[in-house]
Amino acid sequence: MSAEAAVNQIQWEIHKTNPELVEPLRAKLAEVVDPEIALNVIQLGLIRQVSIADKQATLYVLLTTPFCPYGPAMMDVIKQKATEGLNMPVTLQLGAEPWDFSLMEDPGALDWGMYT
């Protein structure tokens, strides 16, 4: 997904500090799909912040529900894909605030007919 196509593209810290890493990271993270919703973590807006300090990345991540049964597995895959996309060590911080549909990056994905 290009930046032009994303109506609500989240602006991470690395958009300013390391813009060359944004697209490789987004491409890798787009491979991580929530198995219950069948949308990737980029579309869902689950990666809220990405920063780099001392050659290590930190991703601030939300889950769609606090008790997501796939949460631990998804976090492992997010870390793996982020490490591949950034080519550096990655630490994840799990956010405690609730996720909702307004955080989604891809508004077209809302057109399921389920949540009207």
Give the number of domains in the chain: 1
Supply the CATH number for residue 49's domain. Answer: 3.30.300.130
C-alpha to C-alpha distance for 100 and 104, rounded to whole angstroms: 8
Mean pLDDT within 63-84? 94
In three-state secondary structure terms, 110 is: helix
Query: pLDDT tens for residues 48-70?
Result: 999 999 999 999 999 998 888 89
Q: Is residue 89, in this structure, part of any structural domain at all?
A: yes
A 10 A CB-CB count for 18 gives 16
Q: Is residue 111, in this structure, part of any structural domain at all?
A: no
The Cα diameter of the chain in Å comes to 45
Of 6-10, 54-58, 77-81, 99-103, the one with minimum mean pLDDT is 6-10
Predicted confidence at residue 109, as pLDDT, reads: 66
Mean pLDDT within 6-25? 92
C-alpha to C-alpha distance for 92 and 81, rounded to whole angstroms: 12
CB neighbour list of residue 66: distance below 8 Å, 6 or more residues apart: 98
Tokens of 35: 């198995």
Q: Is residue 61, in this structure, part of any structural domain at all?
A: yes
Predicted confidence at residue 14, as pLDDT, reads: 98
Which one-letter amino acid corresponds to residue 55?
K
Range of the domain at 91: 14-95
C-alpha to C-alpha distance for 94 and 108, rounded to whole angstroms: 26
